[in-house]
Structure 1
Amino acid sequence: MAKQITLPVQGMTCASCVTHVERALKSVEGVSEANVNLATEQASVKFASESVEIGNLIAAVRDVGYDVATEKVTLPIGGMTCASCVAHVERALAKTPGVLSVNVNLATEKATVEYIPTVTGLPDFRRAVAEVGYEVLPTAEERAEEELSREVRKMQDARRRMILAWAFTGPIILWMLPEMLAGLAWPNPTIVKLGMLLLAAPVLFWVGQHTYVAAWRSTTHGAPNMDALIALGTGASFLTGIATFFAPIPSYAGVSAMIMAFHLTGRYVEASAKGRASQAI
């Protein structure tokens, strides 16, 4: 059964280069077809013989003055305890098509692998190592990417909460302006008070729910934080909106939504700064 691999070829600049590389690859015993693309700088090679090694193909390309791009990666390996473990991991990785060299160090519990990126990669290495009973642990790059993704998700979530909070708080502010500037409660005081409650409730108990949960946890552990202060202030303000229907006191339900909206805006600014810092690092 014919096999096919793609080699990334470096150093080609013209059609003549393509011809040289194709001729070199076809000269390798067992190769049935070789097609080189100058635009993508890749060579597609088909071969039927099991005896054709990737090293022979690379040597053929290098013999005519070009090179095959390779990469090196250092993999943290979990589960190795002895020299036999090292041999098992080395053998498993070396057998992976596209791997050119492997060096496993028991002391550092790491494997350095040189490979052709168009032929193999990290998923293949994980699978090969797992098949012999060991584990490829997350690399430093993967941990950094995971941390970056986490910070970006936090930033996006904080932005969503801020936008939702102001979507309800904006109408509250506009509705409060006539009463603040002209003493006019439109259409009447009862409707205004009820409207403030209805608009403030989603800001506090839906969008700002995380703040109340965090406040409860910090307070019950004996270490109240800023969330506890915000929860106390907004909660008391919102309750005045209910109490105003039963006692002659002003309603600050609208103010509670404004406090929460400003708080969530601050959280977004904080998350955004952390996200940009993580991206810069």
Structure 2
Amino acid sequence: MTLALARYAARRRLRGAVVVAGGLSVLTLLMVSLYPDVAANVDLDAYTESLPPAFQAAFGIETLGTVEGFLATELYAFGWVLLLGVYFAYTAAGVVARDVETGRMDLLLSLPMGRRRLLAEATLSLLVPLVAVNALVPVVVYASVAWIGESIAVTDLVVVHLASVPYLLATAAVGVGASVVADRAAVAQRAAAGVVFGLYLVESVVADTDLEALGALSPTHYYDPTAILVRGTHDPGGAVVLLAATAVVWTASSVYFTRRDVN
């Protein structure tokens, strides 16, 4: 029975993980292939400077005139921070709620394992898409950038993906929290996706305002692809905060799940 549930759930997530990793790889190829034409016909630095400072701060835009800055804005700020963040929250929201809704949870609870272990193994299956996207996409990024005659620092590329792991785990924890509270998967998934997207909007809207401190409530506050790819800097403290938040939310979810009536 060692990790049997985790292995079973992981196999079920394999196809979805391949689809997501493949989709992001296609998006990467599209963005990189567009860059030479855009850079040749548009003064991207002038365009960046023409944007309102609040808009630049909200979306982490420092420069579009380099392939690193272009990818940080067009691929990572959108594909990783928003799309993947919402995806992991949405996916994680089904780990408990779907089984409760279908009645499968009664069978799972009859197995010789506690509820906390059941939740832990179900959560572990989320590592499949997490590993898939962070293993495939950086290879595609590096190869496609080299294909158009540009270059990108391997170290920065590796770091931007490693740093995304705590961020994606934090968004997944939001989904797990919604999953143990709701009795219907659709409700949990909409709630989790809405929370992550809402926090993203809050952090974007309050940037460079008197309410900027509220942005610290959002996981996006602690993951900055632009800083890594453009400036080559990374804040390890942000990763620690995200991992700590993940642990707190998951533990609270586990405690609630062990005490709730799932019938």
TM-score (norm 1): 0.26
Higher strand share: 1
Higher helix share: 2
Name the structure, 1 or 2, with higher relative contact order (CA <8 Å, separation 6+): 2
Larger Rg: 1
